[in-house]
Chain A
C-alpha cells in the first residue's frame, strides 16, 4: 500500500488522548491494533479503507471474489425488477448445494447395503443430519426453479441477442446440467422413488436410436442388453450396485465440475459481452458497484438463504421405503420437473418422448438467438415490440408447466387420470380402447400438417384480420362439433378438448407466423416454423388421445416410429 500512505491514526501507546486508565481494553482499540498490523495489511490490499471513488473501485478489483464485477454499472442494472437477481441466486444455490453436499458425503456410503441405512442415520442419528439433507434437497428444487425463471427473464428482456447468442446457449446447457445433477442425485437415497425414477430414465436411454438396444436401428450397431448406452450408464443390465456407484461419482464429482467450468465461462461472457444493453438515458451516469450492486446481491442472497433454511426446518425431504426392484410404487412419479416429460411418455413412443422431443427442445432453445432477427427489445421488457417471440416462448413455458401440473395433480394409481379433487380410492374403470389411424391416413395427416403448416403462412401475403379469422375458426369448429356429435356421438367435453387444441394450433401455428414470421429469410423461416409446428403437433397429439382415444397418428412399428 505504498501509493496511498495511510493517514496513520497511529495506535500510539504513547500519549493517550485521555490519560486516565493506562492499559485500556476496548474492542475499538483492539480492532485498530489488529487492522494496522502487518498481517492484516498483507491480507487486504486496499487498506485502510477510505470512502472515495478510488477505494470503492479498488474494493472490487483487488478482491478475488468480487473482481468478476465491473467497478461501475449502469443504474438500470441495479433495478430489482430488471434481473430479479436470478442469475446470482442460481450461482448462490450451486454454492450452497456444494457445501451441504460435501457435508452429507461424510456420512453417506454409496453401496446397496448401506446407502438407505445411512439416509436413515442422517435423519435420526446424526446431529443436524436431517436439516442438512432437507437443505440439500430444497436447495436443489429451488435451483431448478430459479434457473428456469432466469431463462425466462433473459428471454423476456431480449438479453440473448447479438452479441450474447453464444452465452444463451451456454445457459441452456447449464439448465440441462442442473436437471441432470438433480436426476443423478435422485438415485442416491436408494429408496423406491430413487430406483424407479432412474429405471424409467435409463430405459429411455435404451430407446435411443442406434445406441440403445430397444431403439430404432439397434441392429445396425449390434446393440444388445449388455453393450448399449444404457448398459454403460447403469454398469449392468438393471439398476444395481454399479449404478449407484456410477451415479454417485457423476453426482458428486463429474457433473459439478463440468457445471462449475461452464458457470465460469458463462460469467466471463457476461462481462465480455457487457451487461445490459438497454438504450441509454440522455443523462445517464454509471454508479459504483461497491456498495450499490454488491449490497443488493448480499440482500438477495440473505433472503434466499433465509427462505431455504426456513423451508428446511419446516418440511422434511421425502424418503420412501427401501428400494425394491420387484415392486413399483403405484403411481410411480419422477421429481416434479420431469413430470412434464413423464406425461409425454403416455402419448408417444419412448424414444420420441424421451430422446427426440427433449433433444429438439434443447436444440431449439439454443437456436433461438440465431433465429430471432428482431433487433428491438434488448434490455427491457416489451410485449409490443416482440409479440411473436414472447408469445411463442411463453406459450412453450406455460405448456411445459401445464404438463407438470397434470403429471403432479391429475395422475393417480395406474397413471389414470384423477382430478385433483378426486380420491385415489375410487376405482376407475378400465381405460377405453384406443385406435390408430390407418397408415395412409397417418402419412396423409402428417404430410398435410407439415406441408400446409410450412407453406400457408409464407404463401398468404396479405394481412389477415385476426378477429374475422377467429370467428371463421369458431364457425368451422361448430360445424366440426356438430359432425362429431351426430356422426360419432362423442361427448361434449371431448369435442371441447379437441377444439381448444385445434384453435391453439391455428393461432400459434398459423396466425402468428403468418403475421410475424413470413418476412424473415428462407432458412430461418424453415427452422423456426418447423420447430413451432412440432411443438404444436405435440399438443395436437395429446388432444387426439385425451379427446378421441387415438393411440397413434402414424404407426411404423418396424422403426419404433409411433407418433
Chain B
C-alpha cells in the first residue's frame, strides 16, 4: 500500500494546477486578442510616371496615400507623412519649406529631419522603384530614416 499523499503536497499540487490553469487561460486570452489576418489595404502603390514629378515637394498622393514625393536634381524619394512623434499627419508649408505637425508642433525639413518640436526621429522614407514602364512604385511597408542609407537605393530612385 503506497503512502497516502501528504496534505502539504496535495495543496501544492492543487494550487499549482489552478495557477497553471489560470495562467494558461490568461495567456490564451491575450493571444486571442492578437489578430492573425488583417484586412488593411496594401502598402504598395503605383504613383504614375516618375518623370512627370516636378522638382520639389509633390502633394499629389498626399490625401490618398499619405506620402509626399520629393524630386531633387538627381532623383526621387518618398516621405511617409506620419509624424514620428505620435503618428499625426503633418502638413506641407511651401513658403517656409517645412512640414509642420498639427498635434504637438513638430517641424521637419524636406529631408525629413526634425527641425523643431518633440519628434524623436526623422520622417521615414519609403522604398521607391522606377519600374520598366517608367512608373514610380512606392512601398510604405519598407521604411528607412538613417542618413546615408536613406539616400541610396531602394529608398532613392534616380530619374
Residues on A close to B: CB < 8 A?
A: 196, 199-200, 203-204, 227, 231-232, 235-238, 240-242, 324-332, 342, 345-350, 354, 413-416, 430-431, 433-434, 557, 560, 562
Contact = CB atoms under 8 A, between A and B. Distances in A.
Interface in B48-103: 62-66, 81, 85-91, 96, 98, 100-103
Contact of A237 (B33, B40, B66, B96): B40
A271 B69 CA distance: 65
A196 to B, nearest CB: 6
Given A236-B35, A415-B105, 17 more contacts: A196-B88, A203-B86, A240-B40, A327-B89, A328-B103, A332-B102, A345-B85, A345-B118, A346-B118, A350-B86, A350-B120, A414-B91, A414-B100, A430-B116, A431-B107, A431-B116, A562-B120
Contacts of B116: 430-431, 433-434
Nearest to A430: B96
B17 interface: no
B33 A232 contact: yes
Contact of A347 (B63, B66, B118): B118
Nearest to A427: B95
Instruction: Summarize A's interface: helix, strand, loop or mixed.
Output: loop
Contacts of B30: 232
Nearest to A345: B104
B38 interface: yes
Given A203-B86, A330-B91, A242 B35 contact: yes
B34 A231 contact: yes
B89 A328 contact: yes
Contact of B87 (A199, A227, A414, A433): A199
Contacts of B66: 325-326
A5 B39 CA distance: 71
Determine chain B's interface SS by DSSP, over half rule.
Answer: loop
Contacts of A347: 118
A325 B63 CA distance: 9
Nearest to B33: A232
Contacts of A348: 118
B14 interface: no
A562 B33 CA distance: 32
| Residue of B85, B86, B120 with most chain A CB atoms under a 10 A cut-off | B86
A545 to B, nearest CB: 10
10 closest A-B pairs by beta carbon, nearest first, are A330-B102, A415-B105, A203-B86, A328-B89, A203-B87, A414-B100, A328-B88, A326-B66, A200-B86, A431-B116
A415 B119 CA distance: 13
A248 B136 CA distance: 40
B117 to A, nearest CB: 7
15 contacts: A196-B88, A200-B86, A227-B34, A232-B30, A237-B38, A238-B40, A240-B40, A328-B88, A342-B103, A342-B104, A346-B105, A350-B86, A415-B101, A415-B103, A416-B105
B115 interface: yes
Contact of A431 (B33, B88, B105): B105
A431 B35 contact: no
Given A204-B86, A345-B85, A560-B120, A430 B107 contact: yes
Most chain A beta carbons < 10 A, residue from B62, B85, B98, B103: B103
